[in-house]
Structure 1
Amino acid sequence: MSSRAIVVDRPGEHRLVTGDVPVPGPGEVLVQVAAAGICMSDREVYDGHRDAAYVRYPVTPGHEWSGTVTAVGAGVDPALVGRRTVAEGFRACGLCERCRCGETSLCTGGYAETGFTEPGAFAGHLAVPARLLHPLADDADLRAAALLEPAAVIAAAVRTGRPRPGERVAVVGAGTLGMLAVQLLSASSPAELAVVDPRGARGERAREFGATDALSPDEARAAHGRFDLVVETAGAATTAASSCLLARRGGRVVLTGMFAPGAVGIDPVHLSLSQLEVRSVFGASSSAWSDAVRAFGLGLLDPAPLITHEFPLERFGEAVALVGGGDPKVGKVLLVP
């Protein structure tokens, strides 16, 4: 039996290869991939813009995925065979101080992550450590479940932001992360849930997921100092600074987007005078994954409407070109092996 996979040999160069199905080692499971999402991090890997410390070429990308366990290695419960599942991407050591404190996304044992330094899910099959699995319900929608990785990142942001019922909340950015944030934050019963995005159609779409208002960046300037909690998801050059301006004095800001060098800094004078609590999120801990999977199982989180395009592995080049291209009609792009 054979399996196909996309291999990015170096920036801008990829090939579709056919080889043997991976054999799960001790403590591992073999998963047949159902769907894998493409995000900006994958585009950065393909374009060569990802920090060299966080990628290892040649690599099979794919860190957002879902699938079904088809085999287990030594020491793994055979009852997992046939289970629908997702899995954490970070290969945390589980032994360092940060892991022991529950901060598995900050593992100091050395960076390793599915799809960046380890073979990812742009393939028919994937072997992963069983300890990273988050099994799903037997009837789970695997197409939608492929978005549980970004949902886990948002769950980490929501956990960090500590939303309380009746608060005024803003989400900056109406991409995949922003739309998932609206869904999770709406479950906290905010008095107001505004979305800030320059794309009017995206803002209006956010209303369907629970937003009470959609603001352009210009309109948002009139709302400076209004919000108890601001969750930034865009990672644009100015959104860290502008998110802090939206928060009230004593408010909370969570930075979730991945910023590139050259982003505008946050004004320290404003920080000190406003007594803001500013936190950032890097990936998702095991507990945040559990939050996202639980919300998905309860129906509080429905990523399926965010999917706009699906491609087979043969059309990877076309699929990755859509991501980050600026077309407002492009939402989440999936590869379906």
Structure 2
Amino acid sequence: MSPTPDAADRPAGAVGRSVVIDRPGVHRLVEREVPVPGPGEVLVRVAAAGICMSDREVLDGHRAPGYVRYPVTPGHEWAGTVEAVGAGVDPALVGRRTVAEGFRSCGTCERCRCGETSLCTGGYAETGFTEPGAFADHLTVPARLLHPLPDDADLRAAALLEPAAVSAAAVRAGRPRPTERVAVVGAGTLGLLAVQLLAASSPAELVVVDPRAARAGAALRFGATDALTPQDAEALHGRFDLVVETAGAPSTAASSCLLARRGGRVVLTGMFSAGATGIDPVHLSVSQLEIRSVFGASSAAWADAVRAFALGLLDPAPLVTHEFPLERFAEAVALVGSGDPKAGKVLLRP
């Protein structure tokens, strides 16, 4: 039997490709030596990496200051296979299919020790934004952030486990219970993944609100009981025990609160721009709403998403509509947020 590969076994000078955004509006595809995993790290060969609007914000220069560090190789949604391990890492990980958490949480601050790793106070660091990401043939990540997958896992679908973990964080925050009436506002990637996770909680109703007819149809296939336009949903104000907002549109935080019953729960996951419609404080206090927000995903939410994927309760594969090689990064990222009704999740396949 041949020895298990580790960092020392890698051939010197092996070359790989990566997309690098030097500064807003400027990117290039470069060839560099394949990185060597340091102590506590693994080297992953990327199988697929998803593109989301935050990647386009990095390219366009619209990412909030402090949440990106140029030059950077983007790519925070990915799946791949462990190819080598650094010192102190279990060599049995080599050959495992895997995903990994994006937040480089410190693991020692009060919030991390309470399990709230997405609220780490040790300073913001995230794969694809401040650390090299997965729009590349390879990347290195701390082994402690890995979530190994089943041996037969579909890595193309698993690339969507990062947004699925965010949706799982929203579901954890919302605490759905069987027979409740639930609404999901927005039928983009986060919304459709949330529908699948919420359907597993046996709701009495699972209504999706989105103006796009094609997206509404997908929601029904994923387990929603009904799909409505925002205008039609106005007739259901005050109906739902739980409302999960995923759209981040200017009006959806406020409209989600109107959909909730008195004493209901609202979870906001959308990334809102300045000037979005605020939540009426009078309605909030009189209705005694419980409102939570989600930014990223904790380790526990990642575990939930990976477990649901392994059990077949979560199938992200139908969301993928386009796949591009690294060389066509510009074309791929332009498709994201373009308004093309045929564009769902866009992948890069190194």
Shorter-chain TM-score category?
over 0.9
Q: Structure 1 counterpart of 2:236, which letter?
A: A
The yes-or-no answer on 1:168 pairing with 2:181 is: yes
The reply on whether 1:315 has 2:295 as its aligned counterpart is no
Q: After superposition, where does 1:127-142 map in structure 2 within 5 Å?
A: 127-142=140-155
**Cα distance per residue 1:19-78 (max 9 Å; x no partner):** 100000000000000000000110111111110110000000000000000000000000
Residue of 270, 276, 280 corresponding to 2:283: 270
Identity of aligned residues (%): 84
Aligned residue among 21, 24, 29 for 1:16:
29
Partner AA of 1:107 in structure 2: C
Tell me how far 1:329 sits from its aligned partner. Answer: 1.1
Q: Which residue of 1 aligns with 2:5?
A: none
User: What is the alpha-carbon distance in structure 2 between the residues aligned to residue 329 and residue 265 of structure 1?
Assistant: 31
Q: Tell me the matched-pair count.
A: 337
1:50 maps to 2:66:
no
Which amino acid in structure 2 is aligned with residue 216 of structure 1?
T
RMSD in angstroms over aligned alpha carbons? 0.5
The Cα of 1:205 is off from its aligned counterpart by 1.4
TM-score normalised by structure 1 residue count: 1.00
Q: Deviations over 1:290-311 (max 9, x none)?
A: 0000000000000000000000
- Quote the residue 1:40 is aligned against: 53
Unaligned runs of 5+ in 1: none
The residue that corresponds to 1:2 in the other structure is 15
- In structure 2, distance between residues paired with 1:243 and 1:324: 22
Following TM superposition, by how much is the alpha carbon of 1:262 offset from its aligned partner in structure 2, in angstroms?
1.1
TM-score, length of structure 2 as denominator length: 0.96
Q: CA shift at 1:156, angstroms?
A: 0.4
- Following TM superposition, where does structure 1 have runs of at least 4 consecutive aligned residues deviating by more than 2 angstroms? none
Query: What is the aligned partner in structure 2 of residue 305 from structure 1?
Result: 318
Counterpart-to-counterpart distance in 2, 1:335 and 1:101: 35
Q: Which sections of structure 2, spanning at least 5 residues, go unmatched?
A: 1-13
Q: Pick from 117, 132, 145 the counterpart of residue 158 of structure 2.
A: 145
Measured in 2, the distance between the counterparts of 1:27 and 1:94 equals: 14
Quick check: 1:100 aligned with 2:113?
yes
Partner of 2:267: 254
Report the secondary structure of 2:66's partner residue. helix
Partner of 1:233: 246
- Give the corresponding residue for 1:332: 345
| One-letter identity of the residue aligned with 2:72 | V
SS at the partner of 1:270?
helix
Equivalent positions of 1:191-210 (< 5 A) are: 191-210=204-223
Q: Which residue of 2 aligns with 1:89?
A: 102
CA distance, structure 2, for counterparts of residue 323 and residue 260 of structure 1 = 18
Q: Does 1:78 align with 2:91?
A: yes
Which residue of structure 2 aligns with residue 281 of structure 1?
294
Tell me whether 1:179 sits opposite 2:192 in the alignment.
yes
